[in-house]
């Protein structure tokens, strides 16, 4: 059995002293990573608890442009930082140790280090999966997914070893937007949300894996029972198409896949993702192009899969999680979406195949990610420099 080296953290006043992390970043469109830091610890003043709606909100740590968060089996938290750093956070103290060996990322626009997810059998194999923007020829870039073995040291940091790229966006293109590159495991398969990189037409082009939801084996190979298997190497990866910028990807308790994605000017979407489904972008959308040109609404083209919810004005969804914990039993089976421009946490209720926004909680900051913790709390990361890691529990 694989057992990564673990540390026993002793809570003391010394661990509540803030350890400053550098905020340096590469200019837009260039490759680079931020220098390794000692991590940041929430001091006594910063680690406050405040009330927002039904939540007691505790500040755990401050990070540099956090993008994704995932819990390890021992309760510690992996957090990716978009400029190119990976942190291991001791949630009891807020201390964030550095994980070395992160691949070089293209940092700029919406690009950089993306998702980080442990393998479902992490306790046995020590594997973590990560997505990031990877440099191509000339001024091009594309999302990539790699896996590596995580070795944790006694100081609360560690390194990635034996890193292997197992998937890439095809083709790499110019521009710095719509990588999406959200990843999730379910039923022994690896699922990847691939944005259309602001190029529109690739969402309908089966020679490209842009604007698609993809289903792969854990080593990056293609399952023989995928809906478009046998239609070419790239098309064989595809589970669904016609997506724009799907930044949230999650399975509900019954095993149904849902995605939440940014629309253009209006028309953010929550979609029930079905095998072989075509969600219509850029042919249809309940939003319009940013230059004012109209896009036909979904109801004009019934051959395309329609969204379960659309939002205009937009919420700018960043992430999606289904709740199954005990701290909020009244919300079991609900989903939570992080909102960027809406600066909110959005709760979604479901009734079979239909869904509705049930409540919106103003958070006072752009919300980049949300996860359910092993304690049943909701764990949230704010977007941007000095983005906070927050733990949400019932107010009373």
Task: Summarize pLDDT for 324-337 with one digit per residue, the tens.
Answer: 999 999 999 999 99
pLDDT over 60 at 28, yes or no: no
Name the band, by pLDDT with cuts 50, 70 and 90, for residue 5.
Answer: very low
Task: Give dist(CA 145, CA 117) in Å, integer.
Answer: 11
What pLDDT, on a 0 to 100 scale, did the predictor assign at position 25? Answer: 35
**For the residues 111-137, what does the mean pLDDT come to?**
98
What pLDDT, on a 0 to 100 scale, did the predictor assign at position 14? Answer: 35
Name the band, by pLDDT with cuts 50, 70 and 90, for residue 59.
Answer: very high
**For the residues 353-382, what does the mean pLDDT come to?**
98
Name the band, by pLDDT with cuts 50, 70 and 90, for residue 359.
Answer: very high
Class of domain 13-48+61-315: mainly beta
Mean pLDDT of the chain, nearest integer: 91
What pLDDT, on a 0 to 100 scale, did the predictor assign at position 94? Answer: 96
What pLDDT, on a 0 to 100 scale, did the predictor assign at position 396? Answer: 83
What residues pair up with 272 in beta bridges, in sequence order? 258
Name the band, by pLDDT with cuts 50, 70 and 90, for residue 47.
Answer: confident
What pLDDT, on a 0 to 100 scale, did the predictor assign at position 33? Answer: 38
**For the residues 311-329, what does the mean pLDDT come to?**
98
Residue spans of the domains in the chain: they are: 13-48+61-315
pLDDT over 60 at 192, yes or no: yes
Task: Summarize pLDDT for 340-350 with one digit per residue, the tens.
Answer: 999 999 999 99
Name the band, by pLDDT with cuts 50, 70 and 90, for residue 6.
Answer: very low
Active site residues: 178
Percent of the chain scored above 90 by pLDDT?
88
Strands 317-322 and 141-152: unpaired
pTM of the prediction?
0.90
**For the residues 202-231, what does the mean pLDDT come to?**
98
176-179: list long-range contacts, CB under 8 Å, 24+ apart: 176/28, 176/29, 176/106, 176/108, 176/109, 176/110, 176/111, 176/133, 176/141, 177/109, 177/110, 177/245, 178/110, 178/244, 178/245, 179/110, 179/111, 179/114, 179/131, 179/133, 179/142, 179/143
Name the band, by pLDDT with cuts 50, 70 and 90, for residue 2.
Answer: low
What pLDDT, on a 0 to 100 scale, did the predictor assign at position 15? Answer: 32
Task: Summarize pLDDT for 97-106 with one digit per residue, the tens.
Answer: 999 999 999 9
pLDDT over 90 at 387, yes or no: yes
The answer to whether 251 and 239 are in contact (CB under 8 A) is no
């Amino acid at each position: 059995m694989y057992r990564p080296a673990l540390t026993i953290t002793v809570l003391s006043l010394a661990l509540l002293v803030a350890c400053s992390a550098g905020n340096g970043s590469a200019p837009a469109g260039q490759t680079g990573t931020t220098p390794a830091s000692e991590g940041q610890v929430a001091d006594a003043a910063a680690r406050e608890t405040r009330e927002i709606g039904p939540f007691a909100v505790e500040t755990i740590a401050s990070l540099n442009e956090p993008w994704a968060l995932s819990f390890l089996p021992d309760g510690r938290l992996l957090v990716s930082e978009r400029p190119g750093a990976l942190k291991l956070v001791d949630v009891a103290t807020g201390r964030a140790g550095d994980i070395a060996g992160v691949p070089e990322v293209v940092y700029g626009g919406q690009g950089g280090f993306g998702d980080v997810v442990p393998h479902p059998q992490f306790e046995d194999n020590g594997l973590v999966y990560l997505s990031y923007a990877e440099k191509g020829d000339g001024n091009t870039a594309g999302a990539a997914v790699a896996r590596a073995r995580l070795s944790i040291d006694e100081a609360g940091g560690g390194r990635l070893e034996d890193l292997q790229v197992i998937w890439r966006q095809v083709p790499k293109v110019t521009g710095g937007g719509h990588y999406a590159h959200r990843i999730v495991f379910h039923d022994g398969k690896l699922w990847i949300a691939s944005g259309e990189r602001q190029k529109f037409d690739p969402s309908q082009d089966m020679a490209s894996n842009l604007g698609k939801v993809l289903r792969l084996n854990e080593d990056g190979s293609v399952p023989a029972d995928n809906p478009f298997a046998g239609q070419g190497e790239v098309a064989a990866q595809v589970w669904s198409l016609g997506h724009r910028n799907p930044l949230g990807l999650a399975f509900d308790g019954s095993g149904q896949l849902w995605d939440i994605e940014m629309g253009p000017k209006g028309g953010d979407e929550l979609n029930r993702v079905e095998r072989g489904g075509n969600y219509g972008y850029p042919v249809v959308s309940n939003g319009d192009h940013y230059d004012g040109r109209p896009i036909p609404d979904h109801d004009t083209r019934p051959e395309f899969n329609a969204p379960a919810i659309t939002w205009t004005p937009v919420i700018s969804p960043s992430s999606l999680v289904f709740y199954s914990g005990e701290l909020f039993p009244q919300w079991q089976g609900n989903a939570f979406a992080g909102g960027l421009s809406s600066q909110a946490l959005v709760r979604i209720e479901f009734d079979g195949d239909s869904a509705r926004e049930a409540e919106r909680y103003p958070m006072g900051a752009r919300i980049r990610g949300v996860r359910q913790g092993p304690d049943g709390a909701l764990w949230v990361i704010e977007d941007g420099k000095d983005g906070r890691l927050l733990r949400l529990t019932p107010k009373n």
